[in-house]
Structure 1
Amino acid sequence: MIIAIDGPAGSGKSTVAKELSKRLGFTYIDTGAMYRAVAYKIKEECIDPEDLNAVLNLMKGIDIKLEQSNDGVKVFLNGKDISPYIRTEEIGKIASKIARFSEVRKILVGMQREIGKKSKNAVIEGRDTGTVIFPDAEIKIFMTASPDVRAKRRWEELKKKGIEISYQQILREIKERDHLDETRKDSPLKPASDAIIIDTTDRSIEEVLNQILEIVKKGNIF
């Protein structure tokens, strides 16, 4: 059983997907973390993310694994836990740049499908899980929210971590990332034709979770 959750940065999809997987006892698959793992290696090796050949050569020598934990998922790159280092705005920007390359997406989509097939049941989240990776997913959710609200959420999250950054800068970066994700030629960010769209602008995580759990029940999955 596959539940695919898509949406832009800051829509709440990661938080919802993690909690949903816990409540259902499903495997949680964070596709964006895999792009961030590649982005982390690109930064570490000082490679230009716009240089496709260099990126593809780098990908030949990397092994990415996702491991379930109480905190959601740990990301391992060549055996090293890089989870604490891949959630920065800089890594996110690099990830969006390489996500525009069809060749990069093809490699990672293959990995993601393999993880999904090995899992008996899974909640998979990202930006094209319902349109490309698992178009036959039993349930497809597309979460969205206004750019202002998404920027505020991210700003508050970073403040709690002691990271100083202006709200306006985060808002600008979110809009830039939306543009990159929505306008890329391969697998642009958009709802699947049969996805249920949930606007989280004025809703709590618990409200969204309850709605999705009701959808699961109505689908006679259990």
Structure 2
Amino acid sequence: MIIAIDGPAASGKGTLARRLAVRYGLRHLDTGMLYRAVARAVIDAGADVADPAARLAAARALDVTHLKDAASLREPGMGEAASIVAADPAVRAEILAFQRGFADQPPGAVLDGRDIGSVVCPGADAKIFVTAAPEARAERRWRELVGNGVAISYEQVLDDIRRRDDRDTSRAVAPLRPAADAHLLDTTELDIEAAFRAAVDLISGS
């Protein structure tokens, strides 16, 4: 069984995907972390994420061990860097093979990202596109960052969310948009428990 969870930054898709993986006994892959890991590798090598050759080299060297330092991958600025990396078609081609290989291992998986239902796993058993108003998403991300001791304003987070939305929806390859057969789930007014129940109902009806 493969469940595809897509949506913009801070929509709640990651938390929802982890809960669904437990519910259905499946493995979980946060595909956004793959692009963050590539960006982190580029930066750690002293290169610029705007350098196509550096991005591609980091993508080709990616393996699961690069995902272990989650705290480093979620540092402020890494989301922006990952969004730049993810707009590179050559990088996306490398990451695509990694993602499909993960999804194809029995008994299946829950993958969350921005193009899972439309590109990575178009034949997924269930597809959900999770969304929420930018202001609600920025509020969630800001509270998360402040709770982790990061000194950042709500306005800075909202600006970052809007820039990432614009880049993700306008990129030439695999832009952020719902798959034609995806269920839409707006979490603007939902807490995680309500969103989880709604997602289970949608999957049951798939």
TM-score bracket for the superposition, by shorter chain length: over 0.9
Moved over 2 A (4+): 57-60, 215-219
Q: CA RMSD for the aligned pairs?
A: 1.3
Larger fraction in helix: 2
Counterpart amino acid of 2:7? G
Count of aligned pairs: 206
TM superposition score normalised by structure 1: 0.89
Q: Which runs of 5+ in 1 are unaligned?
A: 66-75
Alpha-carbon distance, 1:57 to partner? 2.7
1:215 paired with 2:202, answer yes
Q: Deviations over 1:172-212 (max 9, x none)?
A: 01000101101100000000011111110001111111112
Quick one: distance in 2 between partners of 1:81 and 1:12?
21
Deviation at 1:160, TM superposition (A): 1.1
SS in 2 for 1:118: coil
Q: 1:150-165 to 2 correspondence within 5 Å?
A: 150-165=137-152
Q: Secondary structure at the match of 1:140?
A: strand
Structure number having the greater strand percentage: 1
Contact 1:21 1:28 in 2 (8 A): yes
The answer to whether the Cα contact below 8 Å between 1:182 and 1:190 also exists between their aligned partners in 2 is yes
Q: Does 1:40 align with 2:40?
A: yes
**What is the one-letter code of the residue matched to 2:87?**
R
- AA aligned to 2:115 is D
| 2:29 counterpart letter in structure 1 | I
Query: Scaled by the length of structure 2, what TM-score is found?
Result: 0.96
1:191 and 2:169 matched: no
**Identical aligned pairs, as a percentage?**
40
* Structure 2 gap segments, 5+ residues each: none
Q: 1:45 to 1:145 in 2, by over 3 A?
A: same
Name the structure 1 match of 2:99.
Answer: 112
Deviation, structure 1 residue 215: 2.3
State the alpha-carbon separation in 2 of the partners of residues 108 and 187 from structure 1.
12
After TM superposition, list the pairs within 5 Å mapping 1:4-23 onto structure 2.
4-23=4-23
